[in-house]
Amino acid sequence: MTYKFSISDLSLGLLALATFWSGLVYRLFGLALFGVVLSVTMTVLCFIILLKVERKHNQAETAQRAALPARYARIDWFLTGLYLVLAACCFLLLSRSGITGSIVSPWQAVPAAFFVIYFISSLTLFFLLGRGSKIGLVFAGIHFFLTYSVIIFVYKLGFGYDYFIHQATLELIDKQGVVDPRPLYYLGQYGLLTIIHKISCLPLAWLHRLLVPLLAAIFLPPLAYRALDVWFEKKIHPSFLLFFLAVPLPFLTFTTPQNFALLLLLFVILLSAEIKNIFEYAVAAALALAALVTHPVAGIPAVLLVLALIVRGSGLRVRFKRLSFGAIFILSAILLPLAFYLLEKPQIGAKAISLAGLLPALGLSGAGSDNIILNFVYFYGYNFWAVLLVLSAAGLCLARKYGRLHCFEPQLYVAGGLFVAYVLTKILPFNFLIGYEHDDYPERILLAACLFLAPFIILAGGQLTESIRRQNLIFKTGWLVFALLLMCASVYLAYPRFDRYFNSRGYSVGEADIAAVDWIEHDARGDYIVLANQQVSVAALSRFGFKKYYPGDIFYYPIPTGGPLYNYYLEMVYRKPTRETMAGALALAGVEQGYFVLNKYWTDFAKVLAEAKLSADSWQSIDNGQVYIFKFKLR
C-alpha cells in the first residue's frame, strides 16, 4: 500500500503544536527572540515525531475513503463558475458595507441583496456538492468563510470590547516579549498569533481578526465530511455538509481566546468520530492541550474527552471502563465550577436559584407579525433550543436503535458532567462581575456542553435528509428551499441584531470615539482620568495602549468594566453627572483633572447632556455632536 498522509490531520497537528508550545513558552519565558526560537524548535521537533507516527500508521484507506470522487462534466464547470461569481458578489457587498461609525449590528450596513445572493449561491453549492465534485470541499470552505466573516468586512475599526483589549496585549507582547501579569489562560492565542506574525511579518491586527473565522472555514468542512462518512458509512449525501450552516454559531464569527478554544474543542469532537491509532490520538491530544492553554472553559472538556476516548479504546474490562467513565463524569461536573470559584474567591454562601433560571422558557415562542421575513427568522431563533433538543434526542435514539451508542459514550459522559457543571456554576456568586455579566460564565459552560451534542444532531439531521431524498420531487424541492431559508436565518441570527424584535445594544467603536480620545490626550496637562463607556475606553486602548496606571492597579480609562472607575461612570450616566461623583473618582486615582465622555446613542442622552453642561468646567463637542467631552478640575 503506498504512503498517503491526511493533509487536514497533519495541518491540525501542526496548528495544535504551535498553539500549545508558543503558549507554554510565553508563560515560562516570554516571546522575545529566545522564546520565539524555542517555540518554533519545539513545534518542529514534535511535528517531526508526529510525521513519523503518521507514516507508521498509514492512513491511506481513511484518506481514500473520505475523499470525494473526481468527476467534472460541463455542468460541473457551469456550477463552479456560477458559484464563484455569486460568492464574489457577496464578498463585494460585504466589503462595500464596511463602516467606521458606531453601529449595533452589521445588518444596519449590509444591504438585503446580500441574503438573496447568499441564498442562490448556497443553492448552487448544494448542487455542486451533490454531483460529487472533487473540489466541492474547497468551495464549502469558501462558503463557510463567507458565512463567518461578515464582522471582518463590516467593522473596519474592529469589533467588540474584548478584541481591542487582546489586540493591545498582542502588540505589547510583540514589542517587549511579555505582558505581566501572565494569566494561566489566553496563552495559546497570544503565542500562536505572535509566532505567526514574527515569522511571516503579516499584520498582527489582520491575523487576529482572521484567526477563528478562517480556521473554521479551512478545517470544519473536511472534518465534518469525514465524521459524516464514518457515522453514516458512506451512505449520506455529500451536500448535507452544507446544512451545518443552518446552525447559528456566533462564536465562529470573531476571534477571542474563548472562541478559539471552543473551535479547537469542536475539532476534537469531530475527530472523535473515528480514532483508531496512535497518530489520531496524538492529534486529538495536541488539540486538547492547545485548547487548555487558551481557555479552560473549552480546554478542560477537551482534555477530558480525549481521556474518555482513550478509555473507550483501551483493553480495560467493562467494569473498569465504567468506573473510569464515572470518574470523567465527576471531573467534568466539578472542575470548571471549582476553577470559577477559585477565580471568584467569594465569601462562603450561594445565591438562590429556581428551575426557571436554569432552563429555557417552556413552550414554543413566537415572533411578532409586523414583518413576515423577520417573523420567520425569529420563530426559528426563539425556538432553536427546542429544535436542538428534539434533534439530539432523535440522534440518541437512532444511535441506540442501531447498536452504536457505545461509540458515543465519551461525548455523553463529558456532556452530562458539563450540564451538571452549568447548574453548579449558576449557584456561585460572581461578585467580581458587574450585573449584566453574572450569567456569562455559566452560559459559556452551557455552550461547551451543547457542542458535545453535535454527533447526535448530525445523526438525526442526516437520517432526516436521507428520508427526504426518497420522496417525490415537489416534496424534496420544498424541503430544500426551507433548509436554505434556515441557513439564511442562521447567518442573520449569528451576528448582533438591531431590529423590531431584538436589540443587541452593544455599539461598536467609531471614528468619533477615536477622535474623542485623541482630543483628550491633546488637551490634558499632566495626569488625568476619563469616565467613559466601553467603546471609548477601548478606543483609547487601541490608540495609546496600556499607557497609564495609578496606585491600586487603576487604569486611567474604565477598563475592566467591573473596576471602580466604571462604577463612577455608571453613577454619572444613570443617576446624575455631578462634580461630587467626579471628585470621588479623582480622589481614587490621586489626580486633579478628569473627563466625562457621553455618546449620543446613550440612554437619556439629552437629560444627561444638560446636567453635565451645568456641572462641568468646560465641554467639547466631537463629530457634530456624536460625542461630548466634559472637563472637570479640582478647585
| Domain limits, the chain | 7-493, 511-633
Residue with cell 466589503: 95
Higher-confidence position of 459 and 528: 528
Please compute the mean of the pLDDT values over residues 525-544 and round it to a whole number. Answer: 94
Q: Is the pLDDT of residue 387 over 50?
A: yes
Between 111 and 279, the higher pLDDT residue: 111
Q: What share of the chain is helix, strand, coil (3-state, %, to 5)?
A: 65, 5, 30
**What pLDDT sits at residue 183?**
84
Query: Looking at the predicted structure, is the pLDDT value of residue 533 above 60?
Result: yes
Q: What CA–CA distance (Å, rounded) separates 445 from 139?
A: 33
Residue 259 in this model has a pLDDT that exceeds 80: yes
Average pLDDT over all residues of the chain: 87
Residue 619's pLDDT band (boundaries 50, 70, 90)?
A: very high
pLDDT band per the 50, 70, 90 thresholds, residue 324: very high
With cut-offs at 50, 70 and 90, classify the pLDDT of residue 85.
very high
Q: What is the mean pLDDT of residues 33-46?
A: 96
Helix axis angle for 136-148 and 113-130, nearest 10°, is 160
Is the pLDDT score of 247 beyond 60?
yes
The whole-model pTM stands at: 0.92
The stretch 385-395 carries a mean pLDDT of: 90
- The distance in angstroms from the start CA to the end CA of the chain is 86
Residue 536 pLDDT level (bands cut at 50, 70, 90): very high
Q: Is 433's pLDDT higher than 60?
A: no
Confidence of residue 348 (pLDDT cuts 50, 70, 90): very low
Q: What is the spatial distance between Cα 261 and Cα 66, in angstroms, rounded to a whole number? A: 26
Task: Please provide residue 31's backbone torsions phi and psi, each rounded to the nearest 5 degrees.
Answer: -120, 45
pLDDT tier, 26 (very low <50, low <70, confident <90, very high otherwise): very high
Residue closest to 454 by CA, chosen among 226, 149, 227, 144: 227
How many angstroms separate the CA atoms of 440 and 445, rounded? 9
Per-residue model confidence (pLDDT) at position 404? 78
448-465 average pLDDT score: 88
Question: Which residue reads 471502563 in cell numbers?
Answer: 321
Please say if the pLDDT value at position 66 is more than 50: no
- The confidence score (pLDDT) of residue 187 equals 95
Q: What is the pLDDT of residues 365-385, one digit of tens each?
A: 666 656 889 999 999 999 998
* Range with top average pLDDT, 118-132, 364-378, 493-507, 515-529: 515-529
| Complete DSSP assignment for 550-605 | ETTTEESS--STTSHHHHHHHIIIII---HHHHHHHHHHHT-SEEEEEEETTSTTH
Q: How confident is the model at residue 133 (pLDDT cuts 50, 70, 90)?
A: low
What digits encode the pLDDT tens for the residues 224-242? 888 887 777 666 677 788 8
Rounded to an integer, the average pLDDT of 441-459 is 89
> What is the average per-residue pLDDT within 179-188?
88
- pLDDT tens, position by position, 262-315: 999 999 999 987 787 888 899 999 999 999 999 999 999 999 999 999 998 887
Q: In terms of pLDDT, which residue wins out, 471 or 403?
A: 471
**Polymer length of the chain:** 635
